[in-house]
A and B are shown apart, each in its own frame.
Chain A
Protein backbone atom coordinates (compact mmCIF):
# COMPACT_ATOMS: atom_id res chain seq x y z
CA UNK A 1 0.00 0.00 0.00
CA UNK A 2 1.56 3.23 -1.17
CA UNK A 3 0.44 6.84 -1.25
CA UNK A 4 0.68 8.93 -4.41
CA UNK A 5 0.42 12.69 -4.87
CA UNK A 6 -0.73 13.23 -8.43
CA UNK A 7 -0.82 16.54 -10.30
CA UNK A 8 -3.45 16.43 -12.98
CA UNK A 9 -3.38 15.60 -15.86
CA UNK A 10 -1.47 12.30 -15.64
CA UNK A 11 0.12 9.87 -18.09
CA UNK A 12 -0.70 6.18 -18.53
CA UNK A 13 2.44 5.02 -16.64
CA UNK A 14 1.37 6.92 -13.53
CA UNK A 15 -2.01 5.18 -13.57
CA UNK A 16 -0.51 1.76 -14.26
CA UNK A 17 1.67 2.16 -11.14
CA UNK A 18 -1.40 2.20 -8.89
CA UNK A 19 -2.68 -0.95 -7.16
CA UNK A 20 -5.85 -1.51 -5.17
CA UNK A 21 -5.59 -0.32 -1.56
CA UNK A 22 -3.11 2.42 -2.52
CA UNK A 23 -4.21 5.93 -1.62
CA UNK A 24 -4.08 9.00 -3.80
CA UNK A 25 -4.22 12.77 -3.36
CA UNK A 26 -5.13 14.73 -6.48
CA UNK A 27 -3.85 18.23 -7.15
CA UNK A 28 -4.78 20.80 -9.77
CA UNK A 29 -7.91 20.19 -11.78
CA UNK A 30 -10.87 17.84 -11.34
CA UNK A 31 -13.96 17.62 -13.56
CA UNK A 32 -17.46 16.96 -12.23
CA UNK A 33 -19.73 14.81 -14.37
CA UNK A 34 -23.09 13.10 -13.87
CA UNK A 35 -25.84 11.00 -15.51
CA UNK A 36 -27.34 13.78 -17.64
CA UNK A 37 -23.91 15.17 -18.63
CA UNK A 38 -22.90 11.82 -20.06
CA UNK A 39 -26.30 11.07 -21.63
CA UNK A 40 -25.91 14.33 -23.54
CA UNK A 41 -22.26 13.67 -24.43
CA UNK A 42 -22.65 10.12 -25.63
CA UNK A 43 -26.29 9.71 -26.66
CA UNK A 44 -26.94 13.20 -28.03
CA UNK A 45 -23.53 13.99 -29.44
CA UNK A 46 -22.74 17.11 -27.44
CA UNK A 47 -19.04 17.96 -27.31
CA UNK A 48 -17.76 19.61 -24.15
CA UNK A 49 -15.31 22.46 -24.61
CA UNK A 50 -12.91 21.13 -21.94
CA UNK A 51 -9.99 18.84 -22.77
CA UNK A 52 -10.41 15.88 -20.43
CA UNK A 53 -7.28 14.06 -21.61
CA UNK A 54 -5.33 12.53 -18.73
CA UNK A 55 -7.81 13.93 -16.21
CA UNK A 56 -10.03 12.61 -13.45
CA UNK A 57 -13.80 12.94 -13.42
CA UNK A 58 -15.88 12.74 -10.26
CA UNK A 59 -19.49 11.57 -10.28
CA UNK A 60 -21.13 14.62 -8.76
CA UNK A 61 -23.87 17.23 -9.01
CA UNK A 62 -22.94 19.93 -6.52
CA UNK A 63 -24.94 22.44 -4.49
CA UNK A 64 -23.83 25.88 -5.69
CA UNK A 65 -24.74 29.53 -5.17
CA UNK A 66 -24.87 31.89 -8.16
CA UNK A 67 -22.63 34.91 -7.54
CA UNK A 68 -20.97 37.65 -9.60
CA UNK A 69 -17.90 36.51 -11.50
CA UNK A 70 -14.64 37.43 -9.74
CA UNK A 71 -11.14 36.09 -9.20
CA UNK A 72 -12.50 34.02 -6.32
CA UNK A 73 -15.52 32.81 -8.32
CA UNK A 74 -14.32 32.67 -11.94
CA UNK A 75 -17.39 30.73 -13.14
CA UNK A 76 -19.90 32.84 -11.23
CA UNK A 77 -20.61 30.00 -8.84
CA UNK A 78 -19.63 29.63 -5.18
CA UNK A 79 -19.38 26.04 -3.99
CA UNK A 80 -21.93 25.21 -1.27
CA UNK A 81 -21.65 21.46 -0.96
CA UNK A 82 -19.83 19.16 -3.34
CA UNK A 83 -20.00 15.41 -2.84
CA UNK A 84 -20.19 12.15 -4.70
CA UNK A 85 -22.99 10.06 -6.09
CA UNK A 86 -23.38 6.32 -6.76
CA UNK A 87 -21.21 5.39 -9.75
CA UNK A 88 -22.97 2.19 -10.79
CA UNK A 89 -25.64 4.03 -12.80
CA UNK A 90 -22.97 5.47 -15.09
CA UNK A 91 -21.29 2.16 -15.86
CA UNK A 92 -21.84 2.28 -19.63
CA UNK A 93 -20.00 5.60 -19.99
CA UNK A 94 -16.62 4.47 -18.61
CA UNK A 95 -15.22 3.11 -21.87
CA UNK A 96 -16.29 6.02 -24.11
CA UNK A 97 -15.03 8.52 -21.52
CA UNK A 98 -11.63 6.86 -21.61
CA UNK A 99 -11.51 6.04 -25.32
CA UNK A 100 -12.97 9.21 -26.80
CA UNK A 101 -11.84 11.74 -24.20
CA UNK A 102 -8.72 10.18 -22.66
CA UNK A 103 -10.07 10.23 -19.08
CA UNK A 104 -7.77 8.28 -16.71
CA UNK A 105 -9.56 8.29 -13.36
CA UNK A 106 -13.15 7.91 -12.32
CA UNK A 107 -13.96 9.01 -8.80
CA UNK A 108 -17.17 7.98 -7.14
CA UNK A 109 -18.79 5.79 -4.55
CA UNK A 110 -20.04 2.22 -4.47
CA UNK A 111 -17.81 0.93 -7.26
CA UNK A 112 -18.34 -0.01 -10.91
CA UNK A 113 -18.77 -3.25 -12.83
CA UNK A 114 -16.82 -5.67 -14.98
CA UNK A 115 -17.02 -3.46 -18.08
CA UNK A 116 -15.28 -0.62 -16.28
CA UNK A 117 -12.66 -2.98 -14.84
CA UNK A 118 -11.95 -4.18 -18.39
CA UNK A 119 -11.67 -0.61 -19.67
CA UNK A 120 -9.23 0.29 -16.88
CA UNK A 121 -7.12 -2.75 -17.85
CA UNK A 122 -7.31 -2.19 -21.63
CA UNK A 123 -6.73 1.54 -21.75
CA UNK A 124 -5.03 2.31 -18.43
CA UNK A 125 -7.32 3.79 -15.83
CA UNK A 126 -8.46 3.41 -12.24
CA UNK A 127 -11.49 3.93 -10.02
CA UNK A 128 -10.81 6.02 -6.94
CA UNK A 129 -13.30 5.64 -4.11
CA UNK A 130 -14.35 8.58 -2.05
CA UNK A 131 -16.46 7.94 1.04
CA UNK A 132 -20.04 8.59 -0.04
CA UNK A 133 -22.14 10.94 2.04
CA UNK A 134 -19.16 12.88 3.31
CA UNK A 135 -19.74 15.94 1.16
CA UNK A 136 -19.16 18.57 3.85
CA UNK A 137 -15.62 17.22 4.15
CA UNK A 138 -15.09 16.91 0.39
CA UNK A 139 -16.15 20.53 -0.07
CA UNK A 140 -13.19 21.61 2.06
CA UNK A 141 -10.84 19.99 -0.50
CA UNK A 142 -12.07 22.24 -3.30
CA UNK A 143 -10.64 25.69 -3.80
CA UNK A 144 -12.95 27.03 -6.50
CA UNK A 145 -15.33 26.27 -9.31
CA UNK A 146 -13.08 27.42 -12.10
CA UNK A 147 -15.38 26.94 -15.07
CA UNK A 148 -18.60 25.26 -16.14
CA UNK A 149 -19.87 23.83 -19.42
CA UNK A 150 -23.24 22.38 -20.51
CA UNK A 151 -24.77 24.49 -17.76
CA UNK A 152 -28.31 24.08 -19.08
CA UNK A 153 -28.11 20.67 -17.36
CA UNK A 154 -27.51 22.24 -13.92
CA UNK A 155 -26.83 20.74 -11.43
CA UNK A 156 -25.61 18.03 -13.84
CA UNK A 157 -23.38 20.46 -15.74
CA UNK A 158 -19.78 19.66 -16.59
CA UNK A 159 -17.92 21.31 -13.72
CA UNK A 160 -14.25 22.27 -13.60
CA UNK A 161 -12.96 22.36 -10.02
CA UNK A 162 -9.65 23.72 -8.75
CA UNK A 163 -8.41 21.49 -5.93
CA UNK A 164 -6.69 22.18 -2.63
CA UNK A 165 -5.60 18.54 -2.49
CA UNK A 166 -8.38 16.01 -2.94
CA UNK A 167 -7.93 13.20 -0.45
CA UNK A 168 -7.94 10.56 0.86
CA UNK A 169 -8.97 8.60 -2.21
CA UNK A 170 -8.71 4.85 -2.16
CA UNK A 171 -7.68 2.95 -5.29
CA UNK A 172 -10.63 0.55 -5.36
CA UNK A 173 -10.27 -0.68 -8.98
CA UNK A 174 -6.90 -0.69 -10.75
CA UNK A 175 -5.57 -1.31 -14.26
CA UNK A 176 -4.44 -4.85 -13.40
CA UNK A 177 -7.91 -6.32 -12.89
CA UNK A 178 -7.94 -5.66 -9.15
CA UNK A 179 -11.27 -4.63 -7.62
CA UNK A 180 -12.08 -4.34 -3.95
CA UNK A 181 -15.78 -4.56 -4.82
CA UNK A 182 -15.45 -7.91 -6.59
CA UNK A 183 -13.52 -9.31 -3.64
CA UNK A 184 -16.09 -8.07 -1.10
CA UNK A 185 -19.00 -9.29 -3.25
CA UNK A 186 -17.54 -12.80 -3.55
CA UNK A 187 -16.95 -12.88 0.20
CA UNK A 188 -20.52 -11.70 0.92
CA UNK A 189 -22.04 -14.29 -1.40
CA UNK A 190 -20.03 -16.97 0.39
CA UNK A 191 -21.48 -15.82 3.71
CA UNK A 192 -25.10 -15.88 2.45
CA UNK A 193 -25.68 -19.46 3.56
CA UNK A 194 -24.40 -18.73 7.06
CA UNK A 195 -26.66 -15.67 7.37
CA UNK A 196 -29.70 -17.65 6.22
CA UNK A 197 -28.85 -20.53 8.55
CA UNK A 198 -28.83 -18.08 11.48
CA UNK A 199 -32.41 -17.22 10.47
CA UNK A 200 -33.41 -20.88 10.39
CA UNK A 201 -33.76 -20.88 6.61
CA UNK A 202 -32.54 -23.97 4.77
CA UNK A 203 -30.58 -22.93 1.67
CA UNK A 204 -31.96 -24.56 -1.46
Chain B
Protein backbone atom coordinates (compact mmCIF):
# COMPACT_ATOMS: atom_id res chain seq x y z
CA UNK B 1 0.00 0.00 0.00
CA UNK B 2 1.44 3.37 -1.03
CA UNK B 3 0.56 6.52 0.90
CA UNK B 4 0.73 9.96 -0.66
CA UNK B 5 1.76 12.78 1.76
CA UNK B 6 -1.17 14.88 0.50
CA UNK B 7 -3.59 12.25 1.86
CA UNK B 8 -1.84 12.45 5.22
CA UNK B 9 -2.00 16.25 5.23
CA UNK B 10 -5.74 16.25 4.48
CA UNK B 11 -6.34 13.61 7.16
CA UNK B 12 -4.27 15.52 9.74
CA UNK B 13 -6.42 18.60 9.06
CA UNK B 14 -9.70 16.70 9.23
CA UNK B 15 -8.66 14.80 12.37
CA UNK B 16 -7.98 17.95 14.40
CA UNK B 17 -11.40 19.41 13.53
CA UNK B 18 -13.24 16.11 14.17
CA UNK B 19 -11.46 15.58 17.46
CA UNK B 20 -12.46 18.94 18.95
CA UNK B 21 -16.12 18.48 17.96
CA UNK B 22 -17.12 14.84 18.38
CA UNK B 23 -16.71 13.02 21.67
CA UNK B 24 -15.88 9.30 21.24
CA UNK B 25 -18.71 6.84 22.02
CA UNK B 26 -16.75 5.17 24.83
CA UNK B 27 -16.58 8.50 26.70
CA UNK B 28 -20.33 9.03 26.20
CA UNK B 29 -20.90 5.55 27.65
CA UNK B 30 -18.60 6.51 30.50
CA UNK B 31 -20.85 9.49 31.24
CA UNK B 32 -23.93 7.26 31.19
CA UNK B 33 -22.29 4.97 33.75
CA UNK B 34 -21.40 7.86 36.06
CA UNK B 35 -24.89 9.36 35.86
CA UNK B 36 -26.35 5.99 36.86
CA UNK B 37 -24.15 5.70 39.97
CA UNK B 38 -23.84 9.33 41.12
CA UNK B 39 -25.57 9.97 44.47
CA UNK B 40 -24.80 13.69 44.91
CA UNK B 41 -27.38 16.19 43.63
CA UNK B 42 -24.88 18.95 42.69
CA UNK B 43 -22.76 16.38 40.86
CA UNK B 44 -25.80 15.14 38.95
CA UNK B 45 -26.45 18.73 37.87
CA UNK B 46 -22.86 19.17 36.71
CA UNK B 47 -22.89 15.90 34.75
CA UNK B 48 -26.21 16.93 33.21
CA UNK B 49 -24.72 20.21 31.97
CA UNK B 50 -21.78 18.31 30.46
CA UNK B 51 -24.19 16.04 28.58
CA UNK B 52 -26.16 19.03 27.30
CA UNK B 53 -22.88 20.53 26.08
CA UNK B 54 -22.00 17.38 24.10
CA UNK B 55 -25.39 17.61 22.39
CA UNK B 56 -25.10 21.35 21.72
CA UNK B 57 -21.64 20.83 20.18
CA UNK B 58 -23.09 18.22 17.81
CA UNK B 59 -26.23 20.23 17.00
CA UNK B 60 -24.34 23.46 16.33
CA UNK B 61 -21.28 21.80 14.76
CA UNK B 62 -19.16 23.56 17.38
CA UNK B 63 -16.16 22.76 19.53
CA UNK B 64 -16.83 20.85 22.74
CA UNK B 65 -14.33 22.94 24.67
CA UNK B 66 -12.60 26.22 23.93
CA UNK B 67 -9.24 24.63 24.65
CA UNK B 68 -7.93 23.31 21.36
CA UNK B 69 -5.07 21.79 23.34
CA UNK B 70 -1.58 20.82 22.33
CA UNK B 71 -2.00 18.73 19.17
CA UNK B 72 -0.67 15.18 19.41
CA UNK B 73 -0.58 12.77 16.46
CA UNK B 74 0.11 9.07 17.10
CA UNK B 75 1.01 7.19 13.94
CA UNK B 76 1.07 3.39 13.56
CA UNK B 77 2.57 1.96 10.41
CA UNK B 78 1.99 -1.60 9.15
CA UNK B 79 4.65 -3.86 7.63
CA UNK B 80 3.75 -3.47 4.00
CA UNK B 81 3.25 0.28 3.73
CA UNK B 82 5.29 2.44 1.43
CA UNK B 83 5.65 6.03 2.53
CA UNK B 84 8.22 8.79 2.83
CA UNK B 85 8.48 9.18 6.61
CA UNK B 86 10.01 12.64 6.48
CA UNK B 87 7.32 13.89 4.12
CA UNK B 88 4.64 12.32 6.33
CA UNK B 89 5.81 14.29 9.36
CA UNK B 90 5.80 17.51 7.34
CA UNK B 91 2.33 16.66 6.02
CA UNK B 92 0.97 16.19 9.56
CA UNK B 93 2.35 19.56 10.57
CA UNK B 94 0.86 21.20 7.49
CA UNK B 95 -2.53 19.60 8.10
CA UNK B 96 -2.51 20.74 11.72
CA UNK B 97 -1.69 24.29 10.65
CA UNK B 98 -4.39 24.27 7.96
CA UNK B 99 -7.05 23.12 10.44
CA UNK B 100 -6.09 26.02 12.71
CA UNK B 101 -6.16 28.70 10.00
CA UNK B 102 -8.98 27.37 7.84
CA UNK B 103 -11.61 26.38 10.44
CA UNK B 104 -10.39 28.58 12.32
CA UNK B 105 -9.32 27.10 15.65
CA UNK B 106 -7.68 28.98 18.48
CA UNK B 107 -3.95 28.36 18.35
CA UNK B 108 -3.06 27.45 21.91
CA UNK B 109 0.64 26.97 21.18
CA UNK B 110 3.33 29.52 22.10
CA UNK B 111 7.13 29.61 22.32
CA UNK B 112 8.01 28.59 25.91
CA UNK B 113 10.25 31.62 26.56
CA UNK B 114 8.94 34.47 24.38
CA UNK B 115 5.29 33.25 24.68
CA UNK B 116 4.87 34.22 21.01
CA UNK B 117 1.89 32.58 19.30
CA UNK B 118 2.34 31.81 15.60
CA UNK B 119 -1.42 31.19 15.28
CA UNK B 120 -0.74 27.86 13.59
CA UNK B 121 -1.00 25.42 16.55
CA UNK B 122 2.58 24.56 15.62
CA UNK B 123 5.98 25.40 17.06
CA UNK B 124 9.23 23.70 17.99
CA UNK B 125 8.48 19.96 18.34
CA UNK B 126 4.75 20.69 18.16
CA UNK B 127 2.54 19.06 16.98
CA UNK B 128 3.85 16.17 19.01
CA UNK B 129 4.24 13.24 16.61
CA UNK B 130 4.77 9.69 17.85
CA UNK B 131 5.56 6.98 15.32
CA UNK B 132 5.25 3.26 15.99
CA UNK B 133 4.97 0.10 13.91
CA UNK B 134 2.50 -2.77 14.01
CA UNK B 135 2.22 -6.31 12.68
CA UNK B 136 -0.72 -5.55 10.34
CA UNK B 137 0.25 -5.65 6.69
CA UNK B 138 -1.43 -2.81 4.81
CA UNK B 139 -2.46 -0.37 7.49
CA UNK B 140 -1.62 3.20 8.42
CA UNK B 141 -3.36 4.62 11.44
CA UNK B 142 -3.22 8.20 12.66
CA UNK B 143 -4.73 9.07 16.03
CA UNK B 144 -5.17 12.73 16.93
CA UNK B 145 -5.44 13.98 20.50
CA UNK B 146 -5.94 17.67 21.33
CA UNK B 147 -4.60 17.57 24.90
CA UNK B 148 -6.18 20.26 27.04
CA UNK B 149 -4.01 22.24 29.43
CA UNK B 150 -6.22 22.13 32.51
CA UNK B 151 -5.58 18.43 32.79
CA UNK B 152 -2.02 18.53 31.40
CA UNK B 153 -0.98 21.08 34.03
CA UNK B 154 -1.66 18.37 36.59
CA UNK B 155 1.07 15.98 35.57
CA UNK B 156 3.29 14.40 38.18
CA UNK B 157 6.38 12.18 38.37
CA UNK B 158 7.84 10.50 41.42
CA UNK B 159 11.04 8.50 41.35
CA UNK B 160 10.05 6.31 44.29
CA UNK B 161 12.47 3.73 45.66
CA UNK B 162 12.13 -0.07 45.65
CA UNK B 163 11.90 -0.17 49.46
CA UNK B 164 8.59 1.73 49.26
CA UNK B 165 7.16 -0.90 46.93
CA UNK B 166 3.80 -0.79 45.20
CA UNK B 167 2.34 1.11 48.17
CA UNK B 168 4.33 4.15 47.03
CA UNK B 169 2.66 3.91 43.61
CA UNK B 170 -0.83 3.63 45.05
CA UNK B 171 -0.33 6.46 47.56
CA UNK B 172 1.13 8.73 44.89
CA UNK B 173 -1.85 8.24 42.57
CA UNK B 174 -4.35 8.98 45.32
CA UNK B 175 -2.42 12.09 46.41
CA UNK B 176 -2.23 13.35 42.81
CA UNK B 177 -6.00 13.05 42.44
CA UNK B 178 -6.42 14.98 45.69
CA UNK B 179 -3.91 17.63 44.67
CA UNK B 180 -5.53 18.12 41.25
CA UNK B 181 -9.01 18.57 42.75
CA UNK B 182 -11.27 20.43 40.33
CA UNK B 183 -8.44 21.92 38.27
CA UNK B 184 -8.34 18.98 35.82
CA UNK B 185 -12.01 19.27 34.85
CA UNK B 186 -13.12 15.99 36.45
CA UNK B 187 -14.51 13.42 35.85
CA UNK B 188 -11.13 12.49 34.44
CA UNK B 189 -9.28 9.51 33.08
CA UNK B 190 -6.33 9.21 35.43
CA UNK B 191 -3.36 7.87 33.47
CA UNK B 192 -0.65 6.14 35.48
CA UNK B 193 2.77 5.14 34.19
CA UNK B 194 4.58 2.55 36.26
CA UNK B 195 8.23 1.66 35.67
CA UNK B 196 10.60 2.48 32.80
CA UNK B 197 12.93 5.48 32.82
CA UNK B 198 11.66 8.88 33.98
CA UNK B 199 10.71 9.97 30.46
CA UNK B 200 9.20 6.61 29.49
CA UNK B 201 7.20 6.56 32.73
CA UNK B 202 5.67 9.98 31.94
CA UNK B 203 4.99 8.92 28.36
CA UNK B 204 3.19 5.80 29.57
CA UNK B 205 1.01 7.90 31.84
CA UNK B 206 -0.08 9.91 28.78
CA UNK B 207 -0.76 6.71 26.79
CA UNK B 208 -2.87 5.49 29.72
CA UNK B 209 -4.78 8.78 30.08
CA UNK B 210 -5.71 8.89 26.40
CA UNK B 211 -6.68 5.23 25.96
CA UNK B 212 -10.33 4.42 25.19
CA UNK B 213 -12.57 3.76 28.20
CA UNK B 214 -13.24 0.07 28.59
CA UNK B 215 -9.74 -0.89 27.43
CA UNK B 216 -7.50 -2.72 29.88
CA UNK B 217 -3.79 -2.70 30.53
CA UNK B 218 -2.24 -5.65 28.67
CA UNK B 219 -0.03 -6.39 31.67
CA UNK B 220 -2.09 -8.38 34.22
CA UNK B 221 -0.41 -6.62 37.14
CA UNK B 222 -1.24 -3.26 35.60
CA UNK B 223 -4.85 -4.31 35.02
CA UNK B 224 -5.22 -5.31 38.69
CA UNK B 225 -3.92 -1.91 39.75
CA UNK B 226 -6.38 -0.18 37.40
CA UNK B 227 -9.35 -1.79 39.03
CA UNK B 228 -8.29 -1.12 42.61
CA UNK B 229 -7.21 2.47 41.92
CA UNK B 230 -10.43 3.34 40.06
CA UNK B 231 -12.47 2.29 43.06
CA UNK B 232 -10.21 4.02 45.58
CA UNK B 233 -9.96 7.24 43.54
CA UNK B 234 -13.73 7.56 43.43
CA UNK B 235 -13.92 7.24 47.22
CA UNK B 236 -12.30 10.66 47.56
CA UNK B 237 -15.45 12.64 46.82
CA UNK B 238 -13.74 15.28 44.64
CA UNK B 239 -16.59 14.93 42.15
CA UNK B 240 -17.27 16.57 38.78
CA UNK B 241 -15.52 19.98 38.59
CA UNK B 242 -14.23 19.48 42.14
CA UNK B 243 -17.63 20.44 43.53
CA UNK B 244 -18.11 17.13 45.34
CA UNK B 245 -19.65 13.79 44.39
CA UNK B 246 -18.82 10.20 43.49
CA UNK B 247 -17.77 10.87 39.89
CA UNK B 248 -14.14 11.91 40.29
CA UNK B 249 -12.77 9.66 37.54
CA UNK B 250 -14.27 7.65 34.69
CA UNK B 251 -11.38 5.26 35.32
CA UNK B 252 -7.76 4.97 36.36
CA UNK B 253 -5.70 3.52 33.50
CA UNK B 254 -2.26 2.02 34.04
CA UNK B 255 0.58 1.29 31.61
CA UNK B 256 3.70 -0.49 32.75
CA UNK B 257 7.29 -0.94 31.58
CA UNK B 258 10.22 -2.82 33.02
CA UNK B 259 12.45 -0.71 35.20
CA UNK B 260 15.85 -0.71 36.89
CA UNK B 261 16.55 -2.78 40.03
CA UNK B 262 17.08 0.43 41.99
CA UNK B 263 14.07 2.32 40.61
CA UNK B 264 10.33 2.48 41.27
CA UNK B 265 9.05 5.33 39.11
CA UNK B 266 5.41 6.36 38.92
CA UNK B 267 3.87 9.12 36.81
CA UNK B 268 0.37 10.54 36.62
CA UNK B 269 -1.16 12.37 33.67
CA UNK B 270 -4.84 13.19 33.51
CA UNK B 271 -7.39 13.54 30.76
CA UNK B 272 -10.35 15.85 31.34
CA UNK B 273 -14.00 14.88 30.80
CA UNK B 274 -13.75 16.26 27.28
CA UNK B 275 -11.58 13.22 26.48
CA UNK B 276 -11.25 13.99 22.80
CA UNK B 277 -9.73 11.64 20.27
CA UNK B 278 -10.08 11.02 16.53
CA UNK B 279 -8.62 8.34 14.29
CA UNK B 280 -7.94 7.98 10.58
CA UNK B 281 -7.34 4.47 9.23
CA UNK B 282 -5.82 4.01 5.79
CA UNK B 283 -6.30 0.59 4.19
CA UNK B 284 -6.14 -0.53 0.55
CA UNK B 285 -9.96 -0.14 0.43
CA UNK B 286 -9.67 3.52 1.41
CA UNK B 287 -9.60 5.97 4.29
CA UNK B 288 -11.98 5.71 7.23
CA UNK B 289 -12.51 8.11 10.12
CA UNK B 290 -13.41 6.98 13.60
CA UNK B 291 -12.29 7.32 17.18
Contacts and interface: CB of A to CB of B under 8 A. Distances in A.
B165 to A, nearest CB: 10
Tell me whether chain A's interface is mostly helix, strand or loop, or mixed: mixed
A195 B153 contact: no
A1 B31 CA distance: 27
B237 A191 contact: yes
A185 B183 CA distance: 12
Contacts, number: 176
Interface of B: 46, 49-50, 52-54, 56-57, 60, 62-68, 103-108, 115, 117, 119, 148-150, 153, 167, 170-171, 174-175, 178, 181-185, 228-229, 231-233, 235-244, 272-274
B65 A133 contact: yes
A192 B66 contact: no
Contact of B57 (A136, A184, A199): A136
Interface of A: 36, 60-66, 80-86, 88-89, 109-111, 129, 131-137, 139-140, 154-155, 168, 170, 172, 180-181, 183-185, 187-189, 191-192, 194-196, 198-202
B272 A133 contact: yes
Contacts of B240: 131
Given A110-B185, A180-B244, A196-B232, A188 B170 contact: no
Given A180-B243, A184-B243, A192-B178, A133 B53 contact: yes
A62 B66 contact: yes
Contacts of B181: 110-111, 181, 184-185, 188
A148 B20 CA distance: 25
Contact of A140 (B60, B104, B182, B235): B60
Given A110-B181, A195-B236, A86 B62 contact: no
29 contacts: A80-B63, A80-B106, A81-B106, A85-B149, A86-B149, A110-B184, A129-B241, A131-B53, A133-B50, A133-B65, A133-B273, A134-B50, A135-B53, A135-B64, A135-B65, A136-B54, A136-B60, A137-B52, A139-B62, A155-B117, A184-B238, A184-B239, A192-B175, A192-B178, A195-B236, A196-B170, A198-B231, A199-B167, A199-B229
B235 A195 contact: yes
Contacts of B274: 133
Contacts of A191: 235-237
A189 B244 CA distance: 12
Contact of A199 (B63, B182, B232): B232
Given A89-B153, A134-B52, A136-B60, A110 B183 contact: yes
